[in-house]
Amino acid sequence: MTDMSPSERRLQKELMSLIKDPPPGVSVDAEQAEQNLLQWTIHMEGALGTLYEGEQFQLQFKFSNKYPFDSPEVTFVGSNIPIHPHVYSNGHICLSILTDDWSPALSVQSVCLSIVSMLSSCKDKQRPPDNTFYVKTCSKNPKKTKWWYHGKFSRVFFYWLCWSLFFR
């Protein structure tokens, strides 16, 4: 057996934990993740008593060799991307722990729980007000977006727009 990098060891440990004891409504495509530790598909079900109850979603996690010091790239994929004020129609998620507030103490499981919480707290299904413009002009990698966060789950797109116009 070949030696695993620290990143691969951490991912293997997290994968085994997620397989053995997943949060409610969350599961990992274990076969796919075992074949490629750097890209996982997570299946998520909308929580009971929420606007998304019974809906099925897929998240794609992409990890760099610097994980857990570098946050994963996390996007919704598939045919059912949730309609939510912090989820763009291309699957990009505006959530501070995916960029600025990332910490190596976080995990795939904690990211999943944060996304479930974000969806569960939604009061009105709607896209972000800047969805059309953002989707037309954004990078394929949401981590390259320079979000400006305020409040628990919100952002101001203006910062991204200024950054993209002047620094790309």
Contact status, residue 159 vs residue 167, Cβ threshold 8 Å: no
Tokens 């440990």, located at residue? 13
Contact status, residue 44 vs residue 55, Cβ threshold 8 Å: no
Q: Which residues of 5-39 are buried (b: 16+ CB within 10 A; e: fewer)?
A: eebbebbeebbeebeeeeeebbebeeeebeeebee
Question: Which residue spans within 71-156 are E strands per DSSP?
Answer: 73-77, 148-150, 154-156
Question: Which is catalytic among the residues 94, 112, 122, 162?
Answer: 94
Q: Can 112 be counted among the known catalytic residues?
A: no
Active-site positions read 94
